[in-house]
Chain A
């Protein structure tokens, strides 16, 4: 079965750039999405189709996808960005989520 692998945790200082990776075989040939989930809340879509931002998502959120790795980048990270982040893709027959990355802003 297809798997997406994320680092369990990433730490960043306020105002710095946070980078969260998602790895999977030939992931660059698929469409990747990213979701933000704050404690006790539902996930929120922050990036779709590799690099597109939904309406209302700040410009500091950006995405890329090439080779075996999709990347979520948060430029000028703010304390409000502290959350769990999940990548997701369609592998041709099923939906797959990554295990999630806890972003700590300290």
Chain B
């Protein structure tokens, strides 16, 4: 069964770049699937950040598009998130997930989540 695991620093300073990696096991990220990032600020709801496909298509939440970059490393079966110029408002648990292609767009497998705190 497909498994996902987030990794990266748990503390990032304001104005710096948040970088997270999602490692996928038991499934190739070169399949006809999308791979997504979702975040959840403490005590709040889910916010989609963006999704990437190995064919090169990447889609972003318009509210984060100017700061977010999602990329893939098929040789390592990983995909990554970079979020630039972070502020305290970016403090959240960040989840990676597998996503069926639009229009069904089903987030069927999720990682356990990684808490990232933005603070000096």
Residues of A within 8 A of B (CB): 1, 30-31, 33, 35, 42-45, 48-49, 54, 86, 88-90, 92-100
- The size class of the interface chain B forms with chain A is 20 to 34
Query: Which residue of chain A is the closest to B63 with respect to CB atoms?
Result: A1
* B81-120 interface code vs A (CB 8 A; 1 in, 0 out): 0000000000000010001001111111011110000000
6 sample A-B contacts, Cβ–Cβ < 8 Å, listed by A number? A1-B62, A35-B107, A43-B95, A86-B45, A97-B48, A98-B45
Listed from nearest, the 4 A-B pairs whose CB atoms lie closest are A90-B105, A95-B48, A42-B110, A97-B46
Q: Give the complex CA separation of A96 and B107 in angstroms.
A: 12
CB contact list, B31-87 vs A, under 8 A:
36, 38, 45-48, 51, 59, 61-62
A30-B103, A48-B104, A90-B104 in contact; A95/B110 too (CB < 8 A)?
no
CB distance from A15 to the nearest CB of B (A): 28
CB distance from B110 to the nearest CB of A (A): 4
In addition to A35-B107, A45-B107, A90-B105, 13 A-B residue pairs with Cβ atoms within 8 Å of each other are A30-B103, A31-B105, A33-B106, A42-B111, A43-B110, A86-B45, A86-B46, A88-B107, A93-B59, A94-B62, A95-B51, A97-B47, A99-B45
Is the Cβ of A42 less than 8 Å from the Cβ of B46? no
Query: Which residue of chain B is the closest to A90 with respect to CB atoms?
Result: B105
CB distance from B34 to the nearest CB of A (A): 10
A93-B59, A94-B59, A94-B62 in contact; A43/B108 too (CB < 8 A)?
no
CB distance from B105 to the nearest CB of A (A): 4
